[in-house]
Amino acid sequence: MSDCQVIPEDLTDIPPGPRLAQALSEITLARLSGFDSVKVLQARYRQLSHDRAQLMAAMVEVGLCGVGVAGDELRRMAVPDEFSADEVRAALVLTRRAADAQFWLAHDLVTRLPPVHAAMDAGVLDEPRARVLSDWTTELSPTRARALCAELLPRAARLTTGQLIEQIKKLAIALDPDWAQRRYEQAIAERKVVGYRNPDGSANLSGYNLPVDRVAAASGHIDALAKAAKHAGDSRPIDHIRTDLFLGMTDGTYTGMDDAVILKHLRTVAQNADAPDDERSGPGDGAGLDDEPRRPDDERDGPEDVSDTEGGGDERSAADDLAQHGPAVAGMELRVRLSTLLGRDEYPAELAGWGPVHADLARDLATSMTRGQWRFAITDEHGHLLRCGITRVRPTGSPTRSAGSRQVVELQIPAATLRDLASGDSDALGGWGPVVTDLAHQSTNAQQPSAGDPARRFPGATLRRYVEIRDRYCVMIGCRAAARSTDTDHTRDHIRGGATVDHNLGNACRHDHRLKHAGGWQLHQPEPGVFRWTSRLGHVYHVPMRPIIESLPDPIPREGPVAPLYIRPNDDWEESSIWDDTRPDTDTKPSPRPPPQSDSHDDPPPF
């Protein structure tokens, strides 16, 4: 057996380029320890990003080269033309679509977003993240695109592409609220439903450009019913149950049925289904986990120190619970600044698990969700959590809490802002005065989250809610599963003496919960809300405490009017049909970019 090869001590610090390439060429992967193999993987990735940036620069130069035979004279076009990508296409034997996509991405990064290209060249940003920054800022003005990239580049490498897209959306809304709202409204104006066949003979039914709040509510409703059916004993795969619910709600099968009757119908269907034994359980079922998964009734208001899953509590089935409470089962969660609801700013809010929404939509959603549970999160000047709880007060004239609603509104407010609002003119708050008064009162009297018996098996409602608000998402690096949809996990397992207190609890999605229990990873919580994962190869990954209120830039004034909404003419509605034999193009990648307009702030290439 060969001895392990020792990698250079400074491998992590070698900048990408010829020196790093030389060091990597002398390493034999099969002779590395597991720990060092990760270091080499990271170094290879930095080198790859550098090489891709250099390749992009070469593509741009090829596309700008003037027509003519090579000679002493350097010919360059000011901007690419229609055929600039064809030389790249022929030289690298690419399809025209692939050549166009690669060339215009390279040109966009080199000319419109040079700091992004420079970050790739330095090995600190990879191509997938660079592509996200390019694709998702195309519609922004050059000034706003530069401001957005300057804000995100220092931390982009620590975000997954999904997290990066969410951050771009938030910043874009903050920088230009009117543009973001009109863009959303234009998309909604083009909403449609399309059905089409697949090559294998099956078919798809899809809705496009739908309101995000209604899709979130519909998804939550279907998911809650499907899980209730599983709790009631339906052995079919949950995706099959969701599919039956989706079709039953659209093809007329469930016409006139309430949720209780739908669940009874599903039980009848399940009894007639012959599901294979190997589909009834598996390693994904969560066997062996130290903490119980979330139950459908976990969000019900009740005594603050009683766990909803504590032994001796409510033992009704999920189906019975849904039968009593009716259709209000969608677990939509809106996170929004109180100042935004008061109309004092236009910062984006967030639908947990669905991403940011513009301020006007957030205000409409909050108005429609007054029957849900309203939480508050009071923060320090840096946006980190100080106190939290629930308020049963609603704006004047609004419906109050309904026990059947699973919706949640999280009101976010800095402590200093809350003091100013509470001591200011109450008439200026309109119907929100009672809410502000209640939050101000609770800010000085809120119960400490760790209150209760640390030896108990499950956290009470107050403690569980505090941990959900504090963690925001699953505590694994890069995971975007909203905390309310995850398992409440003891960092040090309860069975091994771990206490049920805030600094030993965290939220983990089912996969990452199993990663800790069955995947060989270890989890520590050195400070409340700060997590440290140790992989089975020995590498340590830190997850800092997430802020409740993120720092966002102030809006940049628009340069010109917002384009009016376009509504497609409805003259031929009798001839139209949902069914379409041609599968729609659902590729989310943008079309090849035309030559960009010149920007007086940009220097001409080369850079």
What pLDDT, in 10s, does the model give residues 485-524?
A: 999 999 999 999 999 999 999 999 999 999 999 999 999 9
Lowest mean pLDDT among 11-15, 138-142, 321-325, 382-386: 321-325
pLDDT at 318 over 60: no
Q: Which residues of 285-321 are buried (b: 16+ CB within 10 A; e: fewer)?
A: ebeebbbeebebbbbbeeeeeebbbeeeeeeeebbbb
Name the DSSP letter for residue 119: H
Q: At 357, which helix (H) or strand (E)?
A: strand 355-357
Quick one: pLDDT at residue 365?
A: 94
Mean pLDDT of 218-234: 90
Residue 34 in this model has a pLDDT that exceeds 90: yes
Average pLDDT, the chain: 85
- Please give the backbone phi and psi of residue 487, each rounded to the nearest 5 degrees, phi first: -90, 145
- The pLDDT-based confidence of 590 (bands split at 50, 70, 90) is very low
Of all residues in the chain, the percent with pLDDT exceeding 70 is: 81
Residue closest to 504 by CA, chosen among 523, 476, 485:
523
Q: HSE, CB side, 13 Å, CA atoms: give it for residue 105.
A: 25
How crowded is residue 348: how many other Cβ atoms within 10 Å of its Cβ?
25
* Whether this model's pTM surpasses 0.95: no
pLDDT in tens, 321-336: 434 433 333 478 999 9
In angstroms, the CA 266 to CA 261 distance is: 9
What region does 436 belong to: left with phi over 0, alpha with psi -120 to 50, or beta? alpha
Q: What percent of the chain has pLDDT over 90?
A: 66
Looking at residue 536, its pLDDT comes to 92
Confidence of residue 182 (pLDDT cuts 50, 70, 90): confident
The pLDDT confidence band at residue 192, using thresholds 50, 70 and 90, is very high
Distance of CA 516 to the CA centre of its chain: 22
**Which one has a higher pLDDT value, 75 or 20?**
20
Instruction: Return the top range by mean pLDDT from 313-317, 408-412, 453-457.
Output: 408-412
| 3-state secondary structure at position 583 | coil
How does residue 149 score in pLDDT terms, banded at 50, 70 and 90? Answer: very high
pLDDT at 163: 95
Q: How confident is the model at residue 534 (pLDDT cuts 50, 70, 90)?
A: very high
**Mean pLDDT across 270-284:** 52
CB atoms within 10 A of CB 251: 10
Rounded CA separation 333/121 (Å): 40
- Taking residues 443-449, what's their average pLDDT? 71
The pLDDT-based confidence of 533 (bands split at 50, 70, 90) is very high
Q: Find the mean pLDDT for residues 81-108.
A: 93
Which pLDDT does position 179 carry in this prediction?
Answer: 81
- Scanning the structure block, which residue is given the tokens 């940009």? 602
Contacts of 162 (CB under 8 A, 6+ apart): 480
The winner for highest mean pLDDT among 285-289, 393-397, 582-586 is 393-397
Taking 80 as the threshold, does the pLDDT of residue 42 lie above it?
Answer: yes
Write the CA distances from 223 to 298, 464, 487, integer angstroms. Answer: 15, 22, 16
**Cα distance between residue 466 and residue 410, in whole Å:** 12
Task: Give the pLDDT band (50/70/90) at residue 270.
Answer: confident
**Given this model, what pLDDT does residue 320 score?**
44
The answer to whether the beta carbons of residues 208 and 227 sit under 8 Å apart is: no
Residue 572: per-residue pLDDT: 67
Q: Binning pLDDT at 50, 70 and 90, where does residue 450 land? A: low
Q: Is the pLDDT of residue 436 over 90?
A: yes
| Poorest-pLDDT segment among 139-143, 150-154, 338-342, 429-433 | 139-143
Nearest Cα residue to 606 out of 19, 65, 45 = 65
Task: Please write the tens of the pLDDT for every residue from 343-392.
Answer: 999 999 999 988 999 999 999 999 999 999 999 999 999 999 999 999 99
**CA-closest candidate to residue 412, choices 543, 551, 300:** 551
Q: Is the pLDDT of residue 11 over 50?
A: yes
Residue type, 300: R
pLDDT at 75: 79
Assigned token pair, 495:
């069975």
pLDDT at residue 435, as a whole number = 97
Q: Where are the alpha helices (DSSP H) in 207-329?
A: 212-231, 238-250, 259-272, 318-325
| Section 120-134 average pLDDT | 98
pLDDT higher than 80, residue 593:
no
* pLDDT at residue 273, rounded to an integer: 67
The reported pLDDT for the residue numbered 373 is: 96
